[in-house]
C-alpha cells in the first residue's frame, strides 16, 4: 500500500506520516528530507543557488522515483509538491491513498509563526502579514490538495488522534 500525505506547510504531514508508518509497519519517507539527501544540500540552499524551477524539476523526479521504487510506503510531501509539474496527477496514479491534511488559515498561522526560521518561504514575513500571505497561498494551492482521495479535517486534533482517524480510512 502506498499512502501519500499532502497539505500546506505545518499541517502535520511529517509528524503524522512517521507515526502512521510506524503503526502500520511501513517505511516512511519525508520527500523534502529525501531530496536534501539526494542533492546533498538543503532545500533552502537549492532554491538560492539554482532557483525554484530547478528545485521543482528535481522534486518531480524524486517523487516519481520514490513512488515507482517502493511497494509499501507512507510518503509526506512538501507543501508545494502537489502544485507543480503534474505532481498531483502522479500522486493519484501511483498511490493507493492520498490524504489532504486540512487546516484553517488561523490554525496554520498559529503553527507557522512559532517556527518561521525553519520555513524559508515565510521567514521574512512579519507576523502581522502572515495571515494574508497564508490565505492567498492556500487559496492557490487548495485546488491541488482537494484532488486527494481523502480529506481529513485536522483542526484541534493531535498527532495520535489524526493518525488513528487516517488508519480507519485505510483499513
CB neighbours of 66 closer than 8 A, spacing ≥ 6? 29, 31, 34, 73, 75
**Confidence band (pLDDT; 50, 70, 90) for 121?**
confident
Q: What is the DSSP string of 97-155?
A: EEEEEE--HHHHHHHHHTSGGG-TTTTTS-TTTHHHHHHHHHHHHHHHHTTSSEEEE-T
| All domains of the chain in start order, with CATH | 2-155 (3.40.50.300)
**Confidence band (pLDDT; 50, 70, 90) for 118?**
confident
List pLDDT tens digits, range 72-99.
Answer: 999 999 999 999 999 999 999 999 999 9
**Residue 120 has what pLDDT?**
75
- CA R_g for the chain: 15
- Spell out the SS3 assignment of 14-57: HHHHHHHHHHCCCEEEEHHHHHHHHHCCCHHHHHHHHCHHHHHH
**Residue 52 has what pLDDT?**
87
CB-hemisphere CA count at 13 Å for 65?
Answer: 11
Amino acid at each position: 500500500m502506498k499512502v501519500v500525505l499532502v497539505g500546506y506547510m505545518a499541517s502535520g504531514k511529517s509528524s503524522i506520516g512517521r507515526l502512521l508508518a510506524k503503526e502500520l509497519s511501513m517505511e516512511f519517507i519525508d520527500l523534502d528530507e529525501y531530496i536534501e539527501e539526494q542533492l546533498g544540500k538543503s532545500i533552502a540552499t537549492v532554491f538560492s543557488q539554482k532557483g525554484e524551477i530547478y528545485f521543482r524539476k528535481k522534486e518531480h523526479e524524486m517523487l516519481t522515483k520514490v513512488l515507482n521504487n517502493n511497494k509499501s510506503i507512507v510518503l509526506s510531501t512538501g507543501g508545494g509538491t502537489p502544485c507543480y509539474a503534474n505532481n498531483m496527477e502522479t500522486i493519484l496514479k501511483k498511490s493507493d491513498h492520498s490524504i489532504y491534511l486540512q487546516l484553517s488559515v488561523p490554525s496554520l498561522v498559529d503553527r507557522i509563526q512559532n517556527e518561521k526560521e525553519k520555513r524559508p518561504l515565510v521567514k521574512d514575513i512579519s507576523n502581522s502579514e502572515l495571515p494574508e500571505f497564508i490565505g492567498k497561498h492556500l487559496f492557490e494551492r487548495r485546488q491541488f490538495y482537494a484532488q486527494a482521495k481523502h480529506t481529513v479535517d485536522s483542526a484541534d486534533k493531535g498527532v495520535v488522534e489524526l493518525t488513528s482517524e487516517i488508519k480507519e480510512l485505510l483499513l
